[in-house]
Structure 1
Amino acid sequence: MKRLLKQTYLNFRFFRLAIFLVGLFILAYIYPGLFNIITVLFFILVALTLVDLMLLFKQKGIEAVRILPEKLSNGDDNTIEISLRNKYNYKTKLVLIDELPFQYQKRDFEIKTLLEKSDSKKITYTLRPLERGEYYFGNLNVYASSPIGLVTRRFQFGKDAMVPNYPSFLQLRKYMLMAFSNKLLEYGLKKIRRIGHTMEFEQIKDYVTGDDIRNINWKATAKRNQLMVNQFQDERSQPIYSVIDKGRAMKMPFDGLSLLDYAINATLVISNVALKKQDKAGMFTFSKKVENKVVAERRPSQMHKILETLYNVNTDFSESDFSRLYIDVKRNITHRSLLLLYTNFETLDALHRQLPYLQAIAKNHLLVVIFFENTELHKLTHIKAENTFDIFQKTIAEKFMYEKKLIINELQRYGIQSILTAPEDLTINTINKYLEIKARGLI
């Protein structure tokens, strides 16, 4: 009986009919002849309710399974699937309420559907997580109603399921798929032809328009009686390090994700691209000290190692110590490497405080400083000013955006390469820069 009460809910249809009968009973005091009719209607309602209960509880009812992915991809749409099976011998109306992880703070989630008798159905919905960590799902509640529709029976499935949320591996797969399908140009990735300025000889081939005439092989040309050129390949096995600033400047949110999360997602993708290019991929983070080190290597397990390390990276809200970064780089990275430094400078003064350390790092390594446009300020510069306050806002926004350009010029002045990018374009712009550096043979 206790189980029956816990699973039983009265529908709005029942309450509407009950209220209607109460109104008729009130009228029966004015028109006594209605009393017998209303009494009959009351017993019909009770009988229909009992029949509805028997229909819902006499049979096994509904089977449901929530199918969760092995892990969630941060900042991406992840598909959750629910498999339903109707064991009733009539069409059943269902309302699904899945108890989502607390990170979403969503209290109005429900899915309504109909299932024919002895039918099965799969329902999918998407979740976009914005924080790395563990996501706990509660019960999957399925509320079933018969065609009578006076009573609902609740079924519960899949209690306490946990799914870890990792950096965006879906983004990694997307860029791999685009590379194989030759669709990179559609997403802004540059097609850079390797001219051949390295010393790793690959083969001698026929000259075609666009080949560097400095690489003409005159001996082979004389033998074949046609122009032949030496073709060189990219130098391989070069260390590529992603250096992530996890200080408080990287906590700034854009479109739900922090700058730190954008940097982590880009690190995962660029590490995979570097490994596919036969280079060594590594990473580390810094704030008050250098942490989360993964030495640059080219092994089958390297991507898994980087993914597991990135999973636990969080900001510590401290002021980043670039002097510690310089000391650690000087001690531990002995070979000339490409360092992709993900950080953020909002003003020229902030850059000048760290510039001596960046210069010192750039003496022995190829340093690329990657920092972010403030897209909210960019929107302010395009609004139409209608009053003095709007003019003031627009002027300040343009000043801060101009300072970002001054930061680029200042870095170029000291021979340090840089990328200024919108957070959502970070991955594409980083890959472009890496391909450009490889094409120019700078490392």
Structure 2
Amino acid sequence: MVTRRFAVLLAIGLPLPALLPAPWLAVLGVLAVALLLALLDLAMAGPLTGVRLQRDGDRTVWLGGTAVCSLTVTNDSTQFSRLSLRDAWVPSAGAGPLFHRLLLAPGESEQVRTVLVPTRAGDRPAIRVTLRSHGPLGLAYRQRRQAWSDRHTPRWTLRVLPRFPSRRILPEKLARIRVIDGSVVTRGRGHGTEFDVLREYVIGDDVRSIDWRASARNHDVVVRTWRPERDRRLVCVLDTGRTSAVRIGDVPRLDASIDAALLLSVLAARADDRVDLLAMDTAVRARVEGGGHRTQLPRLIDAMAGLEPALAETDFSLLAREMLRRDRKRSLLVIFTALEIAPMIEGLLPVLPRLAARHKVIVAGVRDPAVSTLAVLPAGARAADVHTAAAAERVLAQRDKVRDVLSRSGATVVDADAGAFASRVADVYLLLKATGRL
């Protein structure tokens, strides 16, 4: 194939024969010379079959972060290779730069870097590496078919983990877990505690925690210490139905739920509790069960990365069947969904009493702060503002009604604005942990 430089050469050379006595023969001569130069240039271009590609770089990145993927190009042929390379990714990978130029001697390698700033969570694959080998004059180039490029493109997929903005408050919540552990030991035995160790009595200890038999054996006053029960079970249920696609501020409701579920999962894992995940709408989209505390959290994060809202109404009877399928051990069931009256009446409310009879249930819904803002009449309000405020007040009243009905059905309801949602859910878990009600 010829390049733009070949077209420029023709544009310069073809007008010159018009000054000669036999212009048509001269034009043919110019064309013949240009084609001969292009063929010679094409023959001197390095073969693409001698180019070897290899990828390396980041495999995972948090949404909003930056990843780097490098592509090593090696010239295994015996000729110089003047290459132009296009490294194409899916648009949501935010890849750049896409185009590179390389000059490789025989046996030489060069590395090109692609910076990725993804705009969506999930898997973001590399599509295709397209190579062109140019001649020394730049008049022509070699390029293989798309199927050949697909076969020789190194496969690479960047796993984009969901956004986790509540990570900034994680140290505060972890400090509260440490306080809960220490306060339970100081107060002695209570609900939701288990025996820890025996130690010598110190002034201020509750005399009711003295172990008289152990004191008699050791000839000293010994007290029992207690700690919060470990290995409790926490099940995070993410509603991926149509209501999860609604944007709350700048992000979908599902992203806010994932953020809160991530914070809750990290806290529970640090507190030595088991965390399971169930994401569902009309079918189960992700399920994470079992595993040790060290391996469970990476599996949860990886499973949440591929979740997307589905344009379907969530079937909460599927949740009831899934929870009944499990063993009968009591769990803390946290359902992240929308506190809207129609999905609640037709979906969750009919199965909630059965779930609450066997498990401790929390229903968490993120609230759009814009609705609360619209419910306030501005100064000098017009008729349109009054109608808007009335509609916003009606939405808020419906949320209050849903919250009351859920509470009467045995669930603890968390209804908070997007900025405080993850923190509020974590606070409820910490309160249940401190009072031994998991």
TM-score of the superposed pair, with normalisation by structure 2: 0.64
Choose which of 5, 18, 22 in structure 2 pairs with 1:13.
5
Name 2:396's counterpart in structure 1.
Answer: 402
**Deviation of 1:142 (Å):** 1.9
Cα pair distance change 1:215/1:335, threshold 3 Å: farther
Identity, in percent, stands at: 17
> 2:282–2:315: 8 Å Cα contact kept in structure 1?
yes
| 1:233 aligned counterpart, secondary structure | strand
**Deviation of 1:239 (Å):** 1.4
> 1:69–1:163: 8 Å Cα contact kept in structure 2?
no
Choose which of 100, 118, 123 in structure 2 pairs with 1:128.
118
User: How do 1:304-383 residues align onto structure 2 when only pairs under 5 Å count?
Assistant: 317-322=311-316, 325-326=319-320, 329=323, 332=326, 334-347=328-341, 350-351=343-344, 354-355=348-349, 357-358=351-352, 361-374=355-368
State the one-letter code of the partner of 1:438. K
> 2:236–2:335: 8 Å Cα contact kept in structure 1?
yes
Distance 2:209 2:34 in 1: 98
State the one-letter code of the partner of 2:100. K
Paired residue total: 412
Distance 2:233 2:242 in 1: 28
Within the alignment, does 1:64 sit opposite 2:43 as a pair? Answer: no
Distance 2:49 2:284 in 1: 59
> 2:209–2:223: 8 Å Cα contact kept in structure 1?
yes
User: How do 1:89-104 residues align onto structure 2 when only pairs under 5 Å count?
Assistant: 92=82, 94-98=84-88, 100=89
**Deviation of 1:137 (Å):** 5.2
**Deviation of 1:336 (Å):** 2.7
Cα pair distance change 1:430/1:122, threshold 3 Å: farther
Distance 2:47 2:303 in 1: 53
Distance 2:290 2:391 in 1: 40
Gaps of 5+ in 2: 185-189, 213-221
Distance 1:113 1:385 in 2: 61
Cα pair distance change 1:337/1:17, threshold 3 Å: same
Alignment deviations for residues 27-52 of structure 1 (CA, whole Å, 9 cap, x no partner) = x37xx699999899767645543443
Name 1:3's counterpart in structure 2.
Answer: none
Name 2:436's counterpart in structure 1.
Answer: 441
**Deviation of 1:240 (Å):** 0.9
Alignment deviations for residues 382-404 of structure 1 (CA, whole Å, 9 cap, x no partner) = 9x999979847963784477358
**Deviation of 1:263 (Å):** 4.8
Within the alignment, does 1:279 sit opposite 2:267 as a pair? Answer: no
| 1:10 aligned counterpart, secondary structure | coil
Within the alignment, does 1:191 sit opposite 2:175 as a pair? Answer: yes
Gaps of 5+ in 1: 1-8, 179-183, 221-227
**Deviation of 1:340 (Å):** 0.9
Alpha-carbon RMSD: 5.8
| 1:57 aligned counterpart, secondary structure | coil
> 2:193–2:436: 8 Å Cα contact kept in structure 1?
no
TM-score of the superposed pair, with normalisation by structure 1: 0.64
Distance 2:157 2:64 in 1: 13
Cα pair distance change 1:167/1:236, threshold 3 Å: farther
Cα pair distance change 1:408/1:257, threshold 3 Å: same
**Deviation of 1:15 (Å):** 1.6
> 1:85–1:120: 8 Å Cα contact kept in structure 2?
yes
Name 2:216's counterpart in structure 1.
Answer: none
Cα pair distance change 1:93/1:425, threshold 3 Å: farther
**Deviation of 1:20 (Å):** 2.9
Alignment deviations for residues 318-352 of structure 1 (CA, whole Å, 9 cap, x no partner) = 544546645764675533321110211234x6546
Alignment deviations for residues 30-83 of structure 1 (CA, whole Å, 9 cap, x no partner) = xx6999998997676455434432331379764323458778988976654322
Distance 2:85 2:373 in 1: 41
Cα pair distance change 1:374/1:83, threshold 3 Å: farther
> 1:131–1:257: 8 Å Cα contact kept in structure 2?
no
Cα pair distance change 1:393/1:34, threshold 3 Å: farther
Name 1:224's counterpart in structure 2.
Answer: none
> 1:76–1:129: 8 Å Cα contact kept in structure 2?
no
Name 2:194's counterpart in structure 1.
Answer: 200
Distance 2:309 2:330 in 1: 28
> 1:204–1:230: 8 Å Cα contact kept in structure 2?
yes
Cα pair distance change 1:104/1:218, threshold 3 Å: closer
| 2:46 aligned counterpart, secondary structure | helix
Cα pair distance change 1:325/1:90, threshold 3 Å: closer
**Deviation of 1:264 (Å):** 6.1
Choose which of 414, 420, 425 in structure 2 pairs with 1:419.
414
